[in-house]
Structure 1
Amino acid sequence: MTVNSTLSYFIFSTYIHIGTLRYLYFMLTAMLYTVIITANTSLIVVICMNRSLHEPMYLFLCSLFVNELYGSTGLFPFLLVQILSDIHTVSASFCFLQIFCLYTYANVEFFNLAIMSYDRYLAICCPLQYNTRMTSNKALIFITVIWLYSFVKFLITLSLNIRLPLCGNIINSLYCNNYLVVKLACSETKVNNIYGLFGVVLTVIVPLFPILFSYMKILKVCFSGSEQTRQKAVSTCTPHLASLLNFSFGCLFEILQSRFDMSSVSSVLRIILSLYFLIIQPLLNPIMYGLQMSKIRNTCKHLFCSKMWACHRDTM
């Protein structure tokens, strides 16, 4: 292949010919996107409107829900267009923009879950000092740093990748994947690989320290504490731990799918593995936290009942 440093578009080879089923897949994907948008937006509104929820834990949750909307918007509209299209191409500029959105989404998600684990450690293991060690202002600072760090980190990644001369434009994925784009490069990618490895350490290894530390301390308190302490730990940590494990496994699926030869695996399973962390996480988080957190449940019920009563009163 010839070197082309000015590729204007990429082609996706993973999309299979689905014929008239495309309309069914389009409807299912649109329904999923609608549920994700509705659920996450509703919880963001509930947290923002109710002053009693302006606490660190709920601010972290609000950041998490905003991130789910951000990541979903980076994927679903693109998927909907590709499902209906006969030619699965995308402009190079949009491809790099999608890479930026999806990778910053993953980075923010993991760091957000890491700081939430530390917040749960303080609430369970240091309840008397919690209000001084984790204030709303500190929570907002943590959230701001997480988002700014993620944006700056992947701006550097993109600046390194955009300059690479490419020998091809076929991406074996359903969406733009940073690793697969770098694999198309004809020139030396040593700097990109080193920075990529450094980025993986910062994105995965660094957040693991507060996560492991927090849960080791929480487990220690659970084994030595009272029944009430154990119940509090279980009720507050269950949705967070489920979200953390789900996201970690989803990212692992994506890494396996994109970096190793999985030609022996069915195309449907490969598609599920590549989309898992981008679809299940935004769908699961609002459901889990909305059902598990009694304060959010009660606020939702209060707002819903108030609206129902107002509508009933207006019709009388």
Structure 2
Amino acid sequence: MDNRSNVTYLMFGGHVEVHKYGYLYFVIMFTVYILIISSNVTIVCIIIIHKNLHEPMYIFIAALLINSVLFSTAIYPKLLIDFLSEKQIISYPACLFQWFLYYWLGGSDFFLLSIMAYDRYVSICNPLKYTTIMQKNTVNIFLFSAWILPAGLFLVALILNAKKEICKFHLKGILCNSTVQTLHCVRSITLNVYGLVNLVNVLILPVVFILFTYGRILVVSYRCRGVRKRAAETCLPHLLVLMNFSCLTAYDVLLPRLELDSPKIVRLIMSLQAVIYHPLFNPIIYGLKMTKIYDHLKKLFCRMV
């Protein structure tokens, strides 16, 4: 606690020999950050520029990639500063803000993946009704909901966290995630219950909906050979992204709550995977697996060479 400014500061304790390898960490993570920003922004610009990509599926992909840019920007600058600092600290309000961005954008990703699953379901299972259902206004409502609904859910959690008194000032990790609740003097039943409600609304229900819709797509694809190739081409990238993101989210949600005494190096590696794989994985998958995007990428690189 800083008595002069009356601002509470927290210490990150998840770094491993940062004073010895700080510059190496900085170079590696700065390179990853540049790759994340450049790859995601490139595909988003391709989708915006080319009119043949102005379809609901590609618009939702662009929204997902924009989330990756925002997510990385909420995490990486602070990490890079910490790698070059003598003390890895953050003010409590800034920590809560990072926590909010972390979970808001993560929740938004699950909502977007659900919308993308529904889009594929309508396109493959009800192709004649697709243009009627997936109109411009419908797409806009879906996008608005994917950003606003999780923001509202986690804003309530943010307010509840801000009102709690903290007695600990040491975080085991390298960023502000669910471990923030371990700082509270008294564990809040209200926060735990509300956190469970958010877990169901933001993670479990979307995943169940996605699995149901892709199950229906699988049945239709099995019955009709003509749609198998299109289903595999457009659905496989979404499923790969879902599997990757679900595994990382499960680790983030469950491990801190179980409070397992795992080695610091293991926690560091898992934390870095959570902030590297998903934002870097998305543009790679969509850039390589989505034929139209891949064709535009090839043309772009051929011009550059």
TM-score, normalised relative to structure 2? 0.93
- Matched residue, 1:312: none
- Matched residue, 1:279: 276
How far the C-alpha of 1:199 sits from its partner, in A, is: 1.1
Q: Is 1:292 the equivalent of 2:289?
A: yes
Could you tell me whether the CA contact under 8 Å between 1:55 and 1:136 is conserved in 2?
A: no
**How well do the aligned residues superpose, as a CA RMSD in angstroms?**
1.8
Higher deviation after alignment, 23-32 or 129-138? 129-138
Higher deviation after alignment, 60-69 or 18-27? 18-27
- Matched residue, 1:102: 102
Q: Secondary structure at the match of 2:247?
A: helix
Structure 2: stretches of 5+ with no match in the other structure: 1-5
What does the per-residue CA deviation read over 1:134-183, in whole Å, with 9 as the maximum and x for residues that have no partner? 12331121011110112111111111110111112111111012x32222
Cα distance in 2 for partners of 1:7, 1:276 equals 31
1:248 to 236, 239, 246: 246
How far the C-alpha of 1:282 sits from its partner, in A, is: 0.6
- Matched residue, 2:12: 12
Kindly name which structure, 1 or 2, has the bigger radius of gyration based on alpha carbons. 1
The alignment-based identity, stated in percent, is 37
2:237 to 233, 236, 239: 239
Could you tell me whether the CA contact under 8 Å between 1:218 and 1:233 is conserved in 2?
A: yes
- Matched residue, 1:311: none
Q: Secondary structure at the match of 2:10?
A: strand
Higher deviation after alignment, 99-108 or 292-301? 292-301
- Matched residue, 2:118: 118
Q: Cα–Cα, structure 1 residues 251 and 294, in superposed 2: closer, same or farther, change >3 Å?
A: same
Cα distance in 2 for partners of 1:260, 1:173 equals 14
How far the C-alpha of 1:272 sits from its partner, in A, is: 2.0
How far the C-alpha of 1:270 sits from its partner, in A, is: 1.7
TM-score, normalised relative to structure 1? 0.89
Aligned length, in residue pairs: 300
Cα distance in 2 for partners of 1:273, 1:16 equals 13
Q: Is 1:208 the equivalent of 2:207?
A: yes
Structure 1: stretches of 5+ with no match in the other structure: 1-5, 309-316
Cα distance in 1 for partners of 2:254, 2:7 equals 27
Could you tell me whether the CA contact under 8 Å between 1:54 and 1:136 is conserved in 2?
A: no
- Matched residue, 2:255: 257
Cα distance in 1 for partners of 2:303, 2:141 equals 34
How far the C-alpha of 1:304 sits from its partner, in A, is: 4.9
Q: Secondary structure at the match of 1:176?
A: coil
Could you tell me whether the CA contact under 8 Å between 1:13 and 1:173 is conserved in 2?
A: yes
Could you tell me whether the CA contact under 8 Å between 2:110 and 2:207 is conserved in 1?
A: no
Cα distance in 2 for partners of 1:17, 1:301 equals 42
Cα distance in 2 for partners of 1:19, 1:304 equals 40
